[in-house]
């Protein structure tokens, strides 16, 4: 069949460039130790930053949620799928991040990917002349949201406030939407949110903050990037994911109530999909309590100690550390094949580290993406440090 032959040739072309991705099937819960093909691996590749994905209390809450609400929600939020647990979660999320917004309201989404599609298309739906200003290193879901909105999109260079300011000044659009990750997912560094917000307020632009990697991990209470930077503004549109530090799944947007009402009325990724099972929303209530409580404080402090340990322990010369203070600790290698060899060598030793290649990152910047979790012990991190230091020496 000619169509299949075309696809096979396209796959072969990926393979030739060392760009074929392989899935590994995990036979255990997400955690620092996972079972793959009968082997126990020490994993440094999940986004379960606080080690909550297999937390006893959240698992119990999920079971309780299923007992109360059943399993499927049966319909979209606007038909009959908006269940009490979803409403309670929205309220709880407003408590969580509402201090940083004006007249705050929140809505939940099935995934962060969908939340980002919804926010960007929703904010621009009423104005075909709207313009989007998107940070160069933004997550794919933000890029896709801009594409789906079909309005003019400017990509500004990474963290380049002057370039963004020039673009905003030159824009005649009545609706301007600046979009950025708070913690860059493949680099681990933080966006200059304080300065970005000032620019947005000055130029009357929305600031959409994707806090997928900051929610739960940043701020004393784990409230995320807005707490970390101590921001408050009606211009902020905040997106947090609930499948990373929160350990469950889904996402939410919190913003001024008028923004949220706009999303409910106009955002197709909200309207045309079945609501997540209410039991997940119920489990998330427990997860948020943990994030905000003493356990969250302890786990974040432990995570920070592990980040410092890695920082002090790595002695790399050819490979490059990126200046990250977050749980995302990339080791930049550059070449795709060398990155894959390094990943494979670590895997041989029982250390599972993510290998990231284009198009996820720019060509020539393939890397190991080490992610740390509060579930790791200091001995776990010591093992990784020793392996990485030795591997770089031996591969020279």
Ligand X SMILES: *Cc1c(COP(=O)(O)O)cnc(C)c1O
Binding site for ligand X (CB under 6 A): 111-113, 116, 139, 141, 181, 185, 210, 212-213, 241, 243, 251
Pairwise CA distance, residues 269 & 274, whole Å: 10
Q: Which is nearer to ligand X, 134 or 241 (CB)?
A: 241
Residue 86, marked binder: no
Q: How far is the CB of 234 from ligand X (least distance, A)?
A: 23
Residue 185 marked in a binding site: yes
Choose between 139 and 223: whose C-beta lies nearer to ligand X. Answer: 139
Residue 299 token pair:
């786990």
Q: Compute the distance between CA of residue 204 and CA of residue 182 in angstroms, rounded to an integer.
A: 20
In terms of CB distance, is 41 or 110 closer to ligand X?
110
Per the annotation, does 21 bind a ligand?
A: yes
Residue among 69 and 215 whose Cβ is closer to ligand X: 215
What is the CA angle 239-141-92, rounded to 5? 20
The Cα-based distances of 367 to 80, 249, 320 in angstroms read 45, 26, 9
Nearer Cβ to ligand X (210/392): 210
The CB-of-184 to ligand X minimum distance in angstroms stands at: 8
139 known ligand binder: yes
Q: Where are the beta strands (DSSP E) in 346-386?
A: 351-356, 366-371
Residue environment code for 72-109, b if the CB has 16+ CB neighbours within 10 A, otherwise e: ebeeebeeebbbebbeebbebbbebbbebbeebbbbbb
Annotated binding residue 241: yes
At 297 the three-state DSSP class reads helix
Shortest CB 261 distance to ligand X, Å: 23
Determine whether the annotation assigns residue 213 to a binding site. Answer: yes
CB of 109 to ligand X, least distance (A): 8
**Phi and psi dihedrals of 296, rounded to 5?**
-60, -45
Going by the annotation, the residues of the binding site for substrate are 21, 139, 360
Going by the annotation, the residues of the binding site for pyridoxal 5'-phosphate are 112-113, 185, 213, 241
Going by the annotation, the residues of the binding site are 21, 112-113, 139, 185, 213, 241, 360
């Amino acid at each position: 069949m000619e169509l299949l032959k075309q696809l096979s040739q396209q796959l072969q072309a990926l393979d030739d460039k060392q760009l074929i991705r392989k899935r590994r099937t995990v036979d255990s819960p997400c955690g620092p130790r996972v079972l793959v093909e009968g082997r126990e691996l020490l994993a440094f590749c999940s986004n379960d930053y606080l080690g909550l994905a297999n937390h006893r209390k959240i698992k119990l809450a999920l079971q309780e949620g299923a007992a109360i609400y059943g399993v499927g929600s049966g319909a979209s939020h606007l038909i009959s799928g908006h269940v009490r647990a979803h409403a309670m979660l929205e309220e709880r999320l407003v408590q969580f991040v509402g201090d940083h917004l004006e007249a705050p309201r929140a809505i939940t989404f099935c995934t962060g990917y969908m939340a980002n599609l919804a926010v960007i298309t929703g904010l621009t739906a009423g104005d075909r002349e709207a313009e989007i200003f998107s940070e160069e290193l933004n997550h794919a879901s933000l890029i896709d949201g801009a594409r789906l909105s079909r309005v003019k999109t400017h990509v500004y260079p990474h963290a380049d406030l002057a370039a963004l300011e020039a673009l905003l000044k030159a824009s005649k659009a009545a609706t301007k939407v600046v979009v950025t990750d708070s913690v860059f997912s493949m680099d681990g560094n933080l966006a200059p949110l304080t300065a970005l917000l000032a620019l947005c307020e000055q130029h009357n632009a929305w600031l959409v903050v994707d806090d997928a990697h900051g929610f739960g991990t940043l701020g004393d209470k784990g409230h995320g990037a807005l707490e970390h930077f101590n921001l408050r503004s009606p211009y902020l549109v905040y997106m947090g994911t609930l499948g990373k530090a929160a350990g469950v799944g889904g996402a939410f947007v919190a913003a001024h109530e008028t923004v949220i009402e706009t999303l409910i009325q106009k955002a197709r990724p909200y309207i045309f999909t079945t609501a997540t099972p209410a039991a997940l929303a119920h489990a998330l209530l427990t997860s948020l309590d943990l994030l905000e409580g003493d356990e969250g404080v302890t786990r974040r402090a432990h995570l920070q100690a592990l980040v410092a340990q890695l920082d002090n322990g790595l002695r790399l010369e050819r490979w490059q550390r990126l200046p990250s203070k977050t749980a995302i600790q990339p080791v930049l290698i550059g070449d795709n094949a060398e990155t894959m060899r390094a990943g494979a060598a670590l895997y041989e030793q029982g250390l599972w580290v993510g290998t990231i290649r284009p198009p996820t990152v720019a060509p020539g910047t393939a890397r190991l993406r080490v992610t740390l979790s509060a579930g790791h012990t200091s001995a776990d991190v010591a093992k990784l440090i020793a392996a990485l230091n030795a591997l770089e020496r031996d591969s020279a």
